[in-house]
Structures are given as C-alpha cells and as structure tokens.
Amino acid sequence: MKKKYEDIILPIEQRVLNMVSEMTLDEKVSQMVHKAPLIDRLKIPEYNWWNECLHGVARAGNATVFPQAIGLAASWDRDLLKRVAEVISDEARAKHHHAKKKGNFKRFYGLTFWSPTINIFRDPRWGRGQETYGEDPYLTGEMGATFIKGLQGNDPYYLKLIATPKHFAVHSGPENIRHHFNVNVTKKDMAETYLPAFKKCVIDGKACSIMTAYTRLNGQPCSANKTLLIDILRNKWGFKGFVVSDCGAIDDIYKAHKVVKTAAEASALAINNGCELSCGNTFKALVSVIPALSRLTLIPL
C-alpha cells in the first residue's frame, strides 16, 4: 500500500509530515547534519547540503565564473545581477541532474547553496570582503534580494534551487577570533546597519534558508540566539524556511564560547532557539537529549 508521503497528489506539507512521522529518532537526527545519509526504507536518498555559488557554481567542475560579489555590487545594476544569478542557477540545476544520474551525491552537487554573503563589510581584517556587496546596507539588501530571486526562480510550486544569505548576523571583525568573539552592538546599529539587508532578503527576496554566524551577539551565540532566530527572523519577519549553522558553529557553542559544557547541550540549545540544520556532525548528539526535542516543530517551506 502506498504511503501518504509517496502520494504526489497530496499537499507537500502533508507528505513531509507523514514522512517525518515514519522516521525513528536516529533517522530524524541523521537528516539534521549537512551530510545526510540514505534512509533506504523510506526511499530518502543521501544528500549533502553544502554548496556555494557566490559568483558562479563552485567546485563542481567547469562553470561560468563571474566577477566576485564586490565587483558585481560596483555595477549598481540589479538587472545585470539577476541575469548573472539565472545563469548560475541554470548551470547548478544541470550539474545536479547530471550528478544524480551518475549516482554522485557528494558535496557541491546539491541544490542548497550557501550564498549570497550579505555581511556589511566594515572591517578589512575579516579578509573576505570580496564576498560581500560592500559596506552600504541599502545596496547590500537590493543586490542580495535580487541575487536570491535569480537563483530560486519564479515557479509557483518548485524552487530552482535554495539560496542562503549569510552570516546572520553582524559577522565581521578579525577572522582569527571569529569562533569565540562576542560582538556588542546597540539596538540602533542593529536596526540601521546590520539587519536591513537580511530583512530585505527574507521579505522581498523570499530566501528559503539562512546561515548563522560563528560569533556571539551581545553575549548569545548566533547559532542559538532566540532574539535573532525566533523573535526577529521568524516572528517579526515571517521567515518560513530553515536555518543552518556555519560550519562547526555548533561546536563553537561549547568549545569556544563555552556557554554550555557538552555537544549535546550545545545542540539542544541551538535547536530550541531556532537552528534546524548543522554544517558539521554535532547535532548527532541530539539522540542523547530526547527531552530537549520536545519543543522542536517542523516548519514546512
């Protein structure tokens, strides 16, 4: 007998909820890390969530290479950037389908892209300013939202791919201290400088995922920050997608920021404060903290 999740006539939300209800705890947790394994009995293929396309499809063979983001921003041309993003997403789709036919589920062949970088570039010591659209919040928001629209496409039902503006939020400063740095920012600076571009990308660009920053923000790790991920992102802006941690950021919660002592506590803290996917393997520790999952809810895309 066909399961509900196999019935393409049913609404996608109903199918997803049915599939999740069929999964064991171990299976659920296995899908919450960036290298998600095959679940053969449910016909869920393995999937690697990690992909990049800041200025072209990265590290998946030959691809069109466009100017870095800072160069594209210098054009001040949204229409041009939209066309660039559409070319990138065309190539991304083609590469994904070709890889899937070959049984290739390795990193950089999926459809979840961790781009664009919309951090406000204030501090050159970060060393990655070329990935951003510069220091102006308005320009960054306009270019970021346009890039996202070009990547995700305009089909009313299917996404061409998923874009992921990053790193939420206030990610800059010296690169070598990012894993334990605490950023103190006033409410005024947050509202005027650091949040507008993310808001634009969520509300206007309709980004389907967001990546967190490594740092703490006003004392709380960004990957487990209720103010950022629940109060602002979901409740205030109405975000319906998923939040992914930067790579290794869940480890930072207990190893670098030291706000808790163990991987299990760090994972539970992140999950309960709005982070659903870990770039890394730390979330596997969730199996040992079942009570912490009691407040976890599925939010359909």
Cβ-contact 276, 242 below 8 angstroms: yes
Find the radius of gyration of the CA atoms of the chain.
19
Alpha-carbon distance of 22 to 245, in angstroms, equals: 26
Token digits of residue 209: 């995922």
- Report residue 227: phi and psi, to 5°: -60, -45
- Contact assessment for residue 236 and residue 271, using Cβ atoms and an 8 Å cutoff: no
DSSP letters spanning 159-206: -S-EE--B-BTT--S-GGGTTT-EE---HHHIIIIISHHHHHHHHTS-
CB contact burial 243-256 (16+ within 10 A = b; e otherwise) = bbbbebbbbbbbeb
What CA–CA distances, in Å, run from 102 to 45, 97, 98? 13, 9, 6
Q: Is 155 a catalytic residue?
A: no
Q: Please tell me the distance from the alpha carbon of residue 254 to that of residue 259, in angstroms, as a whole number.
A: 6
Q: Are strands 220-221 and 47-48 parallel, antiparallel or unpaired?
A: unpaired
Cα 3 to the center of its chain, rounded Å: 30
What are the strands, taking DSSP E only, across the chain? Answer: 35-36, 47-48, 112-113, 162-163, 182-183, 209-211, 216-217, 220-221, 242-244
Catalytic residue from among 155, 189, 246, 252:
246
**Strands in 14-156 per DSSP E:** 35-36, 47-48, 112-113
Active-site amino acid positions: 246
